[in-house]
Amino acid sequence: MRPTTLREAVDQVIQGYDFFHATDEFLDEFYVARPEQRQRMIDEQPSLTGVSFQDAYVGAMGEHLARRWGLDIPAWADDPCRFLEEPYFPPYTQLAKAAFLHDSPIAFRRRLIFTEAEPLRRARFPKEG
């Protein structure tokens, strides 16, 4: 069953599911949800996984989804546990670092996670916000 909230996705990760599989499944649900349902899907504070990158990425997801879709940024996303102390670039992307530094959305960049311009894109990604 797909998680319908970001908290449920993180709960699945804590239970042993793959991080990106669980968060991608959540994103699929988020993107097909009615706009008035989306705020509820990110409001509830997800638990911490204990893996710094994952906890920061979840914070970035909550903030980025809110910014991208005109929602309120959940307060939990600003918890210091949701930020990295060292920069993170995807593996094997040495040649793309300059692009990632430039393109990373603010929610990811301020957590020192450097990625593509639309890191949460999925096949179900809506054409309009």
Q: 48-64 pLDDT, tens per residue?
A: 999 999 999 999 999 99
> Which tokens in the block code for residue 29?
């649900």
State the angle between helix axes of 19-32 and 6-14 in degrees (0 to 180), rounded to the nearest 10. 160
Looking at the structure of the chain, the number of domains it has is 1
In a domain, 121, yes or no: no
Each residue's pLDDT tens digit in the chain (129 positions)? 899 999 999 999 999 999 999 999 999 999 999 999 999 999 999 999 999 999 999 999 999 999 999 999 999 999 999 999 999 998 877 778 888 888 999 999 999 999 988 999 886 667 655
In a domain, 115, yes or no: no
Q: Answer whether 76's CB lies under 8 Å from 45's CB.
A: yes
- Cα 54 to Cα 5, 20, 22, 61, 125: the distances in Å are 16, 9, 12, 10, 22
In a domain, 119, yes or no: no
In a domain, 125, yes or no: no
> Which tokens in the block code for residue 22?
């669980």
In a domain, 101, yes or no: yes
In a domain, 37, yes or no: yes
In a domain, 80, yes or no: yes
pTM (two decimals): 0.92
In a domain, 29, yes or no: yes
- Domain span at residue 98 reads 6-109
- CA 113 to CA 87: how far, in whole Å? 6
